[in-house]
Amino acid sequence: MAWTGDPIWLADVLRAEGLAVIEHAGWRGRGHGDFRDLRGVMCHHTAGGGPNDWRVVQDGRPGLPGPLAQLVLERDGTYRVIAAGVAWHAGAGSHPGWPTDNANWHVIGIEGVNNGVGQVWPAAQMNAYRRGCAAILRRLGGPASDCVGHKEWSSEGKIDPNFDMVSFRAEVARLIAGSPPAPVENEIDAEALVARAWIGARLTPGELPTADGVGRFARFANGTIYWHPYVRNGEATAVPAHLMKTYAQYGFESGFLGYPTLRHTVVPGVGDIQAFEGGTLYRRYGYDGFPVRGVIGKRWAAEGYETGLLGWPISDEYDNGTGGLAQDFENGRLQWDPSGAVKEINRGSDAM
């Protein structure tokens, strides 16, 4: 291999590949000692899947001090450079050309943020994973065969990463060779294609950041498409203009509703329905829309949602004057009591 010692060039090599990089303070001096000769890259998933997985990788966990890898790959394709020194990530195992049970001193570890039990790998993250591995191996002068999954190395039954390493390595080999890259799927563009029958012309050039600085959105003639790396498994979701009017009243993604989690449902001739992180929006054609959420929402769901006896919501939750909350529906009302009970009040009757 072409390098012995700590890979202090990690951030530069990744940036040169056109990848987004965050350098953590002190990363060049962080590690459990200095590398010997570098021989490859080991791929992992974090098994958490959330925005704070990097903290465990950097700081460690009870019984295993950090760093636990040199790099963390976020779901939006951003690399966090955690350490230049040795990290405890490999465990016991073997691979041709690598020291048995001793890869930590010779192999760079990458932890991709994913829960490992069904969470989708966003296209942007997988693209960055391949390109990052290729860039490092190109710097080392090594082949794609030295891009190894933890599950392939381990003699301890490790299962990460939970994607196919054979096809992954084939793409890494193509990238090392400098072949034209496969096009990267933009999630908002992909959702626009799915919604092309109704969403209309694009109004936003490119994408705009949401208020949290993490998500993105783009406006179209008949709706808006939202994307966040930790919502809906990193896939974008379109919200029709009919519901956007109500969504705006509740603060868009910054309000309690948060980001959309499902595509909207059209009830022909009646209205639109769409689920969000903090509740579900219902809007009948020709009327205002309202969210249904919380304990009242659960009781309404048990009653059959909008197709049940209560029908569609015709108000938001409001103070019922006795310390609780109430919400009106077409054919009745639900009230929440601080004790936790929900009382169903139909026209002309009172019933629990």
Question: Are the C-beta atoms of residues 288 and 311 closer than 8 Å to each other?
Answer: no
pLDDT in tens, the chain (352 residues): 456 889 999 999 999 999 999 999 999 999 999 999 999 999 999 999 999 999 999 999 999 999 999 999 999 999 999 999 999 999 999 999 999 999 999 999 999 999 999 898 998 899 999 999 999 999 999 999 999 999 999 999 999 999 999 999 999 999 999 865 545 568 999 999 999 999 999 999 888 989 888 889 999 999 999 998 888 888 999 999 999 999 999 999 999 999 999 999 999 999 999 999 999 999 999 999 999 999 999 999 999 999 999 999 999 999 998 889 999 999 999 999 888 788 888 755 444 3
Cα–chain center distance at 262: 14
Q: Among 251, 157, 166, which Cα is nearest to 210's? A: 251
pTM: 0.64
Residues 6+ apart with CB under 8 A from 132: 14, 17, 19, 71, 73, 79, 110
Question: Are the C-beta atoms of residues 328 and 317 closer than 8 Å to each other?
Answer: no
Rg from Cα positions in the chain:
25
Question: The tokens of 323 are what?
Answer: 């310390």
Q: How far apart are CA 194 and CA 240, in angstroms?
A: 13
Question: Are the C-beta atoms of residues 11 and 21 closer than 8 Å to each other?
Answer: yes
| Cα torsion angle, 55, 82, 109, 115, sign | positive
Q: Could you tell me how many residues make up the chain?
A: 352
> What is the pLDDT, as a whole number, of residue 342?
87
Q: How far apart are CA 192 and CA 225, in angstroms?
A: 7
> What is the pLDDT, as a whole number, of residue 274?
98
Three-state SS annotation for the chain: CCCECCCCCHHHHHHHCCCCEEECCCHHHCCCCCCCECCEEEEEECCCCCCCHHHHHHHEECCEECCCCCEEECCCCCEEECCCCCCCCCCCECECCECCCCHHHCEEEEEECCCCCCCCCCHHHHHHHHHHHHHHHHHHCCCHHHEEEHHHHECCCCCCCCCCHHHHHHHHHHHHCCCCCCCCCCHHHHHHHHCCCCCCCECCCCCEECCCCCCEEEEECCEEEEECCCCHHHCCEEEEHHHHHHHHHCCHHHCCCCCECCCCEEECCCEEEEEECCEEEEEECCCCEEEECHHHHHHHHHCCHHHCCCCCECCCCEECCCCCEEEEECCEEEEECCCCCEEEEECCEEEC
Q: Is the peptide bond before 67 cis (omega within 30 degrees of 0)?
A: yes
Q: How far apart are CA 34 and CA 79, in angstroms?
A: 22
Question: Are the C-beta atoms of residues 60 and 66 closer than 8 Å to each other?
Answer: yes
> What is the pLDDT, as a whole number, of residue 205?
87
Q: How far apart are CA 143 and CA 344, in angstroms?
A: 67
